[in-house]
Amino acid sequence: MKELALHILDVAENGITAGADRICITVEEDRTENRMEISIADNGRGVPEDVMKRITDPFYTTRTTRRVGLGLSLFEDTARRCGGSMTIDSEPGQGTRVTATFVHDHIDRPPLGDMAGTLMTLIYSNPEGDLVYRSHSGDGEIVIDTKQVRKQFNNRPITDPDVFRHLMKQMEQIKT
């Protein structure tokens, strides 16, 4: 994966597959501490204990179409390679939170990348669900919350052209 935003998309898609209707993505960049933290939390069905033990094993998957499961393994590998780590907290029936940390200026740390593309893809592919994106860095805080956006438009669907255009405009602020 060339961008952290692609890892985020991948992990968040897992949440949607797990039946989540609310995904919260947080990106924190702390340059004074030289640290970056990404967390993806969902309110899906959670990870059973026996699966959790092997979840980052690349040769373990719950799927039957193929024998490898690389998503979380790759994310963990990227975090470790960049002087950080990845943790998964999950409560069956409540949801899952994946948190990864990185040394901010580590030479191997991929750029955050096209976060707007990731968010629009997530929103469009799961129009009934809600998504909250929070990014915090030295430049300030950005919050995008699809629930707020829909409220502004009298709960019209997110795929409605007006709502969609408005979201696209909001995305401009996170384009790098």
Partner 1 sequence: MGKMTIDDLKKIKEQTSEETSLRHGAANVKIIVHMGTCGIAAGAREVMNALMDEMGQTDRQDIRVMASACLGMCSSEPNVTVAVEGEEPIVYQHMDANKMRQVFRRHVLEGEVQTDFALARG
Task: Establish how many alpha carbons lie within 13 A of residue 14's alpha carbon, considering only the half-sphere containing its beta carbon.
Answer: 24
Residue 164 CA to its chain's centroid (Å): 20
Binding track, positions 84-123, relative to partner 1; x by CB under 8 A: ------------------------------x--xx-xx--
Residue 4: phi, psi to the nearest 5? -70, -30
Binding track, positions 22-51, relative to partner 1; x by CB under 8 A: ------------------------------
**What angle do helix axes 4-17 and 115-125 make, rounded to 10 degrees?**
10
CB of 115 to partner 1, least distance (A): 11
- Is 172 a binding residue for partner 1 by CB under 8 A? The answer is no
**Which amino acid is residue 70, in one-letter code?**
L
CB-CB contact of 167 with 148 (8 Å): no
For partner 1, the binding residues (CB under 8 A) are 1, 6, 9-10, 13, 16-17, 63, 65-66, 69-71, 74, 114, 117-118, 120-121, 124-126, 153-154, 156-157, 159-161, 164-165
